[in-house]
Each structure stands twice: as structure tokens, then as C-alpha cells.
Structure 1
Amino acid sequence: MINLFLKTDEMGNITESLALAEGIPTQEYFFMFQVEDEVAAQTHNYKVVLNGFKPELVLIEQTQEEDIETIPEDSTTDEEVESPTQDAETDTADIPETTESEVLE
């Protein structure tokens, strides 16, 4: 176990940390937790949350799947596709005309 000393901003994000196996820090820190070595090495993945008056070190969720909306690539409708403005000139001279019978074949 490692003694992890932390300073945080007002949102609980860790702004400064010091991990010591023994001893005390030479400056003041807001919080101290006893954690495993792996947690002490990854403080950027954690934040401090106050549960009542008790501080807790919690893992920050990297992705929040419930907030991510997955949209299929071909899901646009005709209304969502922008049409060119009437002011834009469209060169249709190179487009061959097709008859209804050619389209049905």
C-alpha cells in the first residue's frame, strides 16, 4: 500500500499528487488515501468525490455509452441533405438525357 496525497480543484479533479511508501509530505495536501501501486501510478484516471463528509477516490469514466448516440453511416434522409442554392449555376450540358424506357430497362 502507498500513501497517496492529493490536491484537487473545486470539481474534484486531481491537480497535484504525491505517492509515498513511507514518510510525510513537506507541503500540505487536501486528501490522503492508502492505495495500491497501480492506482498511485494512474492518478490522471481518478478524481475525488465527497460522499457526505467522506472523500472517496473514484475512477473517471472514459466513455459514457449512454450519452453517445450511434448514427449509422447511411441514415440521412432527403430533408437532411442540403440542396444547392438557386444562385449556384449547375452545368447540365454534359449530363445525357434519359427516357423513361431507358430507366426501366
Structure 2
Amino acid sequence: MYTGDLRLHGELREATLEFVEEARRPRPRLLLIEGTRAGPLGRGNPTEDDVRERAHEIIAGSWGKLVIGGYPVGELEAELSRWEVQKRVVPRRDLVGNRCSEAKAMK
């Protein structure tokens, strides 16, 4: 069984916990788990809330300057974080997004 990225640090924590419970039922012989965020939370392993707050601080503190940020294309949680920051900063700033990734996020 392949799990993908088990995310306990973001908006979909409950869905991850539900998946873990469901994955126990078939008792798989092999379990393949992504380890992109393996390790304890903390300074070197920020949560989505940490990233969102830091992005807001940078944008809000950069009045009159161009701020460029990047998010992984198709990463729904990152897109939602970007929109959350935008809601907190607008109407003081204009944000430009990648229409391709926005379309994916809205599906």
C-alpha cells in the first residue's frame, strides 16, 4: 500500500487520521510512505500555519516593494495558504497568481 504524504501539520489533519484508520483494515504486507516531512516539528520543520504567518509578515512589512513568492504547483494546501495571506493583506497589495495552479486548486 502506498500512502502518499501523510500530513498531520496542516488543514487536512483529520483526513490523514481517517486514512490511517482505514489503512489498518486490509492489513497490507508492504506499506510505502513518503518521508518529505519526517521529523519533529520545530524551527527546521515549520507547519503550514508557520509558513502562512511568515508570508503575511513579509508581505505586510514590504509596503512599496515587489514581493515574489513561490508555491508548489498543484499543492492545494499551499494555494489555500496563499489565498489566506491575500485576504489579510488586500486591499493594500495586489497579488498575482499562477492561473494554472489556481485552476488545479479550485477543482
TM over 0.5: no
TM bin (shorter chain):
under 0.3
TM-score (norm 1): 0.20
When you count strand as a share of all residues, which structure comes out higher?
Answer: 1
Larger radius of gyration: 1
Larger RCO: 1 or 2 (CA < 8 Å, sep 6+): 2
